[in-house]
Structure 1
Amino acid sequence: MGVIHQQLALEDVTPGMVLADNLLDAQGQTLLPKGAELSEQMLESLRRHNIASLRIFMGELSEEESAAQRAYLQARMARLFRNSDDEDANGLLHRYVRKFRLGEQA
């Protein structure tokens, strides 16, 4: 099943919300891990560090919603890459995008 996440401004984030992705600093070090439940103290610390927004977990898609999203993405990628040959650079990009978006092998 897929997940629903939303990028929220820090002032719209409330204690108890859950991070959808790792929160990294400018050097790539993890400040907070994916799945961390945010507390008021964490939010205050993020405000002091001038964090503007966070990607927040909002729920999971049902199997039907997940299948519909997958079908939409497959159709969209087929349209975007309709003129690419599997052997050219666009074909390579297409395979990597499929792997990223759909979890397919590149």
Structure 2
Amino acid sequence: MGVIHQQLALDEVTPGMVLADNLLDAQGQILLPKGAELSEQMLESLRRHDISSLRIFMGELSEEEAAAQRAYLQSRLTRLFRNSDGEDANGLLQNYVRKFRLGEQP
């Protein structure tokens, strides 16, 4: 199943919410790991680090929602690469984009 996440302004984030991705600083160092449950102290620290928004975990998709999302993404990719015969660089790009967007292993 897929997950639902949303980018929220730091002012909209409340204690108890969970990070959907690793939170990195400007140098690429992890400030907080994916899955961290945010506390008031963490939020204050993020304000001091000038963090303006966070990607927050909002729940999981049902099997039906995940299947619908997958079908939608596949149809979008088919349309975007409609002029590709699959044998050229566009075909290679299409394959990489499909695997990335659908969460498949390379």
TM range (shorter): over 0.9
Deviation sequence 1:38-88 (CA, Å, 0-9, x none):
000000000000000000000000000000000000001000001113222
State the AA in 2 paired with 1:35.
G
Percent identity, aligned pairs only? Answer: 88
What are structure 2's unaligned runs of at least 5 residues? none
Q: 2:36, 2:11 → 1: CA distance?
A: 18
Aligned pairs, number:
106
1:28 corresponds in structure 2 to 28
TM-score w.r.t. length of structure 2? 0.95
SS in 2 for 1:77: helix
Cα shift at 1:89:
1.9
What are structure 1's unaligned runs of at least 5 residues? none
State the AA in 2 paired with 1:36.
A
Cα shift at 1:90:
1.4
Moved over 6 A (4+): none
Change (3 A) 1:20 1:105: closer
